[in-house]
Amino acid sequence: MRQLTVTIPDDFYETFISFFKHMPDVSINETQENEIPLWQQEMVLDRIKNAKPEDYISWEESKKRLNAKWNK
């Protein structure tokens, strides 16, 4: 027996699963290990929406601050 990992679009999921459910000796193990929870997506979008231009800093400035903090 062989194992296969497949990535499919959300709108095709139900069709795909219903097709394979009826096949003998097929097991379906669903994993969503890399999926970002909806609450976290909403939080990030809300932060982006409410951010002001002065809240953003360049990569160079960010790198300087991190180095100052961790490389004392």
Residue 44 pLDDT greater than 90, yes or no = yes
**Which whole-number Å values give the CA distances from 2 to 5, 21, 25, 27, 28, in the listed order?**
10, 16, 11, 11, 13
pLDDT at 16: 87
Average model confidence (pLDDT) for the chain? 87
Q: What is the mean pLDDT of residues 11-30?
A: 84
Rounded-to-integer distance, Cα 42 and Cα 37, Å: 9
Q: Where are the alpha helices (DSSP H) in the chain?
A: 13-21, 38-50, 59-70
pLDDT at 62: 94
Residue 19 pLDDT greater than 70, yes or no = yes
Report whether 14 contacts 21 (CB < 8 A).
no
Residue 22 tokens, joined: 């009826």
pLDDT at 28: 80
Residue with the bigger pLDDT between 38 and 30: it is 38
